[in-house]
A and B are shown apart, each in its own frame.
Chain A
Amino acid sequence: MHIVNFTPLPALLGGALVGLAATVLLLSHGKVAGISGLYGGLFVPGTTDRPFRSAFVGGLVAGALLLLIALPRAFPTTSPVALPLVAIAGLLVGFGTRLGNGCTSGHGVCGISRLSYRSMAATATFMATGFATVFVTHHVLGGN
């Protein structure tokens, strides 16, 4: 292992903003800023707080538009992953985050901040399978 492309300061600053965003939602609505849950709830029947969820997702879109103007290099122009694999990845991420009640934001940031055992276990699990997957795709199969 050797370290490459490490950007600790933007990572810490961006991460701090993510923590701030989660705190704003906790203060205003008392809810977990979990993106898979807030976004996914918009697409299934029986969701009651659609205006609130739509407002949060609208904020994500507005933030993305702001980034497009102010920090266009946040959007790489090429994908390192072939499209069929991206499609499979999306299915797994969508199905898995809803089955496991959370993703990097809900479990990884909000849950760990609350010292939730479930979120710590979930985060350890998706990190482990993520590491294993990249090990297989990059080192066993040798693809890139």
Chain B
Amino acid sequence: MASKGNLFAFASGLIFAVGLGISGMTSQDKVIGFLDISGAWDPSLAFVMIGAIAVHFVAGRIVRTRKSPLFDTKFHLPTSQDLDAKLLTGAALFGIGWGLGGFCPGPGIVSAVKGGAAPLVFVITMTLGMILQHFVFAPRTKSAPAQAAR
């Protein structure tokens, strides 16, 4: 993989982290505040999603009119449309963890860079959970490389 391409991946990660920080999503309180819809509700997270989807819906559509990305011969986008048990069970478990801790993977990793017990503990156990999932479901996840892009 050419290092010039990886510079773009690095830039993407950097912009992503700065966006998360500006949006307030590195705050567990703001995430839990969004999920606390019947209490003191903070709708900010919905506006983060709206901002992100608005930009990526339009700009992503323009990019996908290209024959190929800049540093690869083709696009690697998931094509499956099946709503299977794995997808829905995984999403359900993720949502429970998200509501319990107030972190999803991106904000967890960004917060852990500063240190602090909660983000560090979160990222360590999240990583363990990912490894555990791999070894529980290894034969099935291995056969679908498109999933790795997520």
Answer yes or no: are A and B bound together in one complex.
Answer: yes
Which residues on A are within 8 Å of B, measured CB to CB? 1-8, 10-41, 43-47, 49, 51-53, 55-68, 71, 74-77, 79-81, 83, 85-114, 116-118, 121-123, 125-135, 137-139
| Complex contacts, B69 vs chain A, CB 8 Å | 26-31
> What DSSP secondary structure best describes chain B's contact surface?
helix
List the A side residues contacting B142 at CB < 8 Å: 46
A-chain residues with CB within 8 Å of residue B42 when the two chains form the complex = 3-6
Residues of B close to A61: CB separation below 8 A: 13, 17, 109, 113
Q: Evaluate contact between A63 and B87: CB separation under 8 angstroms.
A: no
Contact of A100 among B33, B59, B86, B99 (CB under 8 A): B86
- CB < 8 Å neighbour of B21 from A63, A111, A129: A63
Could you tell me the distance between the alpha carbons of A131 and B32 in the complex, rounded to whole angstroms?
A: 9
Given contacts A11-B23, A24-B12, A109-B53, 16 further A-B contacts (CB under 8 A): A11-B47, A13-B23, A19-B55, A20-B55, A24-B11, A25-B9, A28-B8, A30-B77, A63-B14, A94-B125, A101-B150, A104-B98, A105-B104, A110-B56, A116-B78, A130-B95
Ordered by A's residue number, 13 sampled pairs between the chains whose C-beta atoms are within 8 Å are: A1-B39, A21-B13, A26-B64, A28-B70, A37-B148, A62-B17, A76-B29, A81-B100, A87-B125, A101-B150, A114-B77, A133-B99, A139-B38
Q: Determine if B16 and A63 form an interchain contact, defined as CB atoms under 8 angstroms apart.
A: yes
Question: Chain B contact residues (Cβ within 8 angstroms of A): what range?
Answer: 35 or more
| Chain A binding surface SS class | helix
Q: Which residues of B contact A35 (CB under 8 A)?
A: 16, 104-106, 109
Chain B residues engaging chain A, CB cutoff 8 angstroms:
1, 5-30, 32-33, 35-57, 59-60, 63-64, 66, 68-72, 74-78, 80-83, 86-106, 108-111, 113-114, 116-118, 121-134, 137, 141-142, 147-150
